[in-house]
Structure 1
């Protein structure tokens, strides 16, 4: 358990460093905006003409969100998310702002990709970069709408405001950065809020007990038989949120490493889906 948390902390540190690197070397010098609270902090910093840095604003904006996440989302997830935010704010302050290229398109692409690598691996290890991720989770549980709706609304506000205040060309290149970032995050992890996991296993009972000990999710077990081997197995179907994927993967690897697991994006769930 200590080794797991150590690895998770290392991933969070690397993710925060990559996020800050993308901001200070590519996005901030080119005045291209990031997504979520990072983009909001960047926008506010420019409105204040740099009087308050992006790192400080990012940290301040995330304090009330962290309190909300601690009460509504989960302590472990929120703690690691806050550590990620605190480290990113620290790196934003200590790393110099340096323009690597004066080509705005290259800044948009490389900034978006590097940031996405940091965000993607942070998500993959069961944490987040805080901010809008936590707010979207809370709102989606209240209204049961996709998290993407809230992320899109937040990012649209940032882009429109940036375009109105600082020029529409910057806003359009911000869209390029967001597109590159989204594609890379999808490749590393997933942006989909709900996922359906199909597990083909010969250890259904042991796996069921282990999953119930870790997650509060319903499981449907379907009898199955291998077409080639004729072995009798079970297919376990479970719908989870993307933030539970890390824990579920750990459970499967511990109980039945040879299990065949298929993770499918879920656009909607009709019927009961636990939101607490």
Structure 2
């Protein structure tokens, strides 16, 4: 129980930091923070599904994948992390927190903060939602840090949706993803994040036989 509480404390910190990076620095410039939003735009464009429902459908599908591939503990932690992130986005979505407004400064600072938050979440064996689930599954199977697969997944989606979203924003999104996923790998490879860090919620890697 103590270890679970410690893990949830880190998940809370990761979700809070991730939401702060989104709300303060990226969203004000309409820079997407991940590939789930890009897939939602594609579904809306192709079959006219409302963006809000499309985004929910994608995240729900990813949670189902998390349950199947990573186990119930990781899925529960992911849902909790997504909730904390949403609350953080709401808290920081006020102009009082924005003393300046420069898209490139915000892009760099926001991407670094976003990457720190996502890295803390993935380090605890939970996803930040969206493509983070697939990145964590690939990381689990291939025994690699999740930053590279996360960048490739999100980057591919941004390129595909380039004809729908303004190209400058897509380019900014790719730069943001590169910076944030570099931070993800740095955080993921740290020997110890904080002095009380413990393994997450009984999460473990599945063997290849179990995955099949």
Q: Tell me if TM exceeds 0.5.
A: yes
5+ residue gaps in structure 1? 191-245, 251-272
SS at match of 2:11: helix
Secondary structure of 2:164 counterpart:
helix
**Which of 60, 65, 78 is matched with 2:62 structurally?**
65
Question: 1:142-185 deviations in whole A, cap 9, x for unaligned?
Answer: 9x797778534532343224532333222222222112212212
- Structure ranking higher on relative contact order (CA contacts 8 Å, 6+ apart): 2
Cα contact 2:135–2:149 (8 A) shared by 1 = yes
Matching residue of 2:112: 113
1:176-221: CA deviations, max 9, x gaps?
211221221222114xxxxxxxxxxxxxxxxxxxxxxxxxxxxxxx
| CA RMSD of superposed structures (Å) | 3.8
Q: Alignment partner for residue 274 of structure 1, among 203, 207, 211?
A: 207
Tell me the TM-score normalized by structure 1.
Answer: 0.56
Q: Aligned residues, how many?
A: 193
**Rg: which structure is higher?**
1
**1:67-86 matched pairs, under 5 angstroms:** 67-86=64-83
**Shift, 1:28, TM fit:** 1.0
1:141 Cα shift?
7.9
Write the mapping of 1:1-276 to structure 2, written as runs, cut at 5 A. 2-37=1-36, 40=39, 58-96=55-93, 98=95, 100=98, 101-138=100-137, 151-190=150-189, 247=199, 274-275=207-208, 276=210
In terms of fraction of residues, the more strand-rich structure is 1
How far residue 87 of structure 1 moved from its aligned partner, in angstroms, is 2.3
Instruction: Please report how far the alpha carbon of residue 109 of structure 1 lies from its aligned counterpart in structure 2 after TM superposition.
Output: 0.6
Listed one character per residue, the Cα deviations across residues 28-55 of structure 1 (whole Å, up to 9, x for unaligned) are 11121223336656x57x98xxx866xx
TM-score normalised by length of structure 2: 0.71
**Structure 2: how far apart are the matches of 1:4 and 1:28?**
34
Q: Give the superposition deviation at 1:59.
A: 4.7
The CA distance in 1 between the partners of 2:119 and 2:161, in whole Å, is 25
